[in-house]
């Protein structure tokens, strides 16, 4: 029996693809039970192509943030996951999800936390002129990228890097790092 994951996404799904590929490997200790997005994210197509249930829980479809938080928590709970993995999910999680799955929610961040938290980690690293940045996998808490650090990998910043080129290189280490943390968590 493998560990069920629910993956939350907002975008293209490149990190989701890494998780799906790892789940297809022989003896993978996890499977993706569902993928939930907060918008009509392109990455949902990867899950649908594999027959994995998908759902969109849009903030705008709810009268307020508190109602959306409860709806998102209910959508996740419907799939009874052992772990919730944020793979490019660009919303903060509310109390209903954090209270139910606290300590079982993982997220990646494209910087070496605690440096450069928030939605613009790559841009902020470039603006500060750092020579090394990287990727971090954390346990999610109620703060903005303040959870317990589980793993990190460094990425050198090239002189001619743009936000796009640096982010692409960070993703090359971020995705396998997340997969490894998920594997370790599922294996105990």
Angle (CA) 73 56 124, round 5°: 85
Size of the chain in residues = 188
Place of tokens 């943030």: 65
DSSP 34-75: EEEESS--TTHHHHHHTT--EEE--GGGSSSHHHHHHHHHHH
Dist. CA 163–CA 166, nearest whole Å: 5
Phi then psi for 165, rounded to 5 degrees? -70, -40
Q: Where are the beta strands (DSSP E) in the chain?
A: 3-9, 30-37, 54-56, 83-86, 105-109, 132-139, 149-156
Among the listed residues 31, 62, 109, 128, the single catalytic one is 109
User: Is-catalytic flag, 31?
Assistant: no
Report, as residue numbers or ranges, the catalytic residues.
109
């Amino acid at each position: 029996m493998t560990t069920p994951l629910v993956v939350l996404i907002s975008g293209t799904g490149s990190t989701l693809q890494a998780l799906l590929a790892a789940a297809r490997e022989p003896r993978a200790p996890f499977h993706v039970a569902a993928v939930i997005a907060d918008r009509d994210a392109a990455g949902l197509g990867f899950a649908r192509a594999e027959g994995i249930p998908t759902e969109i829980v849009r903030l705008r479809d709810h009268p307020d943030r508190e109602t959306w938080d409860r709806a998102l928590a209910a959508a996740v709970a419907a799939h009874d996951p052992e772990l919730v993995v944020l793979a490019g999910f660009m919303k903060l999680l509310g109390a209903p999800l954090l209270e139910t799955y606290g300590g079982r929610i993982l997220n990646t961040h494209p910087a070496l936390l605690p440096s450069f938290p928030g939605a613009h980690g790559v841009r902020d690293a470039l603006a500060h002129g750092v020579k090394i940045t990287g990727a971090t996998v954390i346990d999610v808490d109620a703060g903005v990228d303040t959870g317990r650090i589980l793993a990190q990998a460094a990425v050198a910043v090239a002189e001619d890097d743009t936000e796009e080129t640096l982010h692409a290189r960070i993703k090359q280490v971020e995705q396998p790092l997340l997969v490894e943390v998920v594997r370790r968590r599922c294996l105990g």
